[in-house]
Amino acid sequence: MIDVDGVRLHYLERGEGPPVVLLHGNGVQLEDFIASGLFDKLAERHRVIAFDRPGFGHSTRPRGKLWTPSLQALWLGKALERLGVTRPVVVGHSWGTLVALAMGVQAPSNIAGLVLLSGFYYPTARMEVPLNVPGAIPGVGDVLQHTVMPVLARFALKGTVRKMFAPNPVPDDFLQVVPREMMLRPRQLRAAAEDTAFMIAAVTQMQEEYAQLQVPVTLIAGADDGIVDPTAHTKRLHDELPRSELKMVAAGHMVHHAVPAEIADAVEALSSPVGAAA
C-alpha cells in the first residue's frame, strides 16, 4: 500500500529492469493481469508494477472528487514518483487505456511509451451508460449498492465474464484468481458504476488531447471484440496518431489473456532505447 494525498493505492511489484506499469479495466482488479499471465511474463525482464485503480481492489476512492481518467492519472503519477519509477511503459486495458493516455498527455517526458489494449476512445452510444447513472449518484447509489446491485451483479457475473472473453473461452480459474467477492463489494460496484456512467463524457473531452501525445503508442485490439468496436475506436485512434503502431489479433475484448507474449514483445520494443526513439 502507498498513501498519496489521502488516497490509499494498492499495488503489486515484481522483477527488475526497465519499469512497466499495468492499469486494469472496469469492474476487475490488478489480479486480472496475473490471471492472464502477462504480469509474470513481463516480470522476467522488467520491474512491473500493477495498480488497483482508485476504488477497485484494495485502493480507496474518496468522495468529493470526480475520478476522471485525468484525475486517476495524476494520483498514479504521484505514486510512481514516490516509488522512484521513471519513464515506464504504461499498459492499459479497456477503461485503463484512458488513464494511460492521460498519463501520456500529463507527463510525456516521463513516459517511455503506451501499450493500449481494447480501448474505448471516442464518444459512441453505450447502453450500459444510462443504466449505471443511478448507481453513480451519491445517496441513491449507496442504497442500490447495499441492496439490489450486489444481488443482480452476482446473478449476471458469469454471463458478463463470458461476454468479455467471447469468442474465446473463459479460463477455468479466472474467477478464483480475480476474486469474485471483491468484484461484488458495494465500494467496487460504486467505482465501476461511476467509471461507466462518465465514460462518454470523459472521452468527449479527452479526444481533443490525443493530438498532443508525444510518446510512442502501440494499439492492440481483438478483431472479434464484442465489447468495444475495434474499427470505431482502435483503428480510428491509430489513424489519428502518426507515431502509433496497430496490431489486430484473433481475440475478443480480453486480448491480454489471448496474446500475452505479443503484448510483452510490444512492451519490450518500447522500453528499449531503439524502440523508444522510433
Query: What is the domain partition of the chain in residue ranges?
Result: 2-277
- Residue 274 confidence (pLDDT): 45
Q: Give residues with Cβ within 8 angstroms of 117, minimum separation 6.
A: 91, 92, 93, 94, 97, 220, 221, 255, 256, 263
Residue 146, helix vs strand vs coil = coil
- Is there a contact between 191 and 24 (Cβ–Cβ < 8 Å)? no
Q: What is the pLDDT of residues 249-264, one digit of tens each?
A: 999 999 999 999 999 9
pLDDT < 70 positions in the chain: 126-146, 148-150, 272-278
- Residue 137 confidence (pLDDT): 58
- Residue 238 confidence (pLDDT): 97
- Residue 275 confidence (pLDDT): 43
* CA angle (84, 56, 125) in 5-degree steps: 115
Listed residue (117, 72, 133, 124) closest to 234, CA to CA: 117
- Residue 145 confidence (pLDDT): 61
- Residue 51 confidence (pLDDT): 98
Type of residue found at 228: V
Q: What is the CATH number of domain 2-277?
A: 3.40.50.1820
- Is there a contact between 176 and 112 (Cβ–Cβ < 8 Å)? no
- Residue 277 confidence (pLDDT): 44
The phi and psi torsions of 7 (rounded to 5 degrees) equal -110, 120
Q: What is the DSSP letter of 149?
A: H
Cα–Cα distance, 191 to 26 (Å, whole number): 9
- Residue 180 confidence (pLDDT): 86
Q: Give residues with Cβ within 8 angstroms of 115, minimum separation 6.
A: 89, 90, 91, 92, 217, 218, 220, 263, 266, 267, 270
Cα–Cα distance, 55 to 189 (Å, whole number): 9
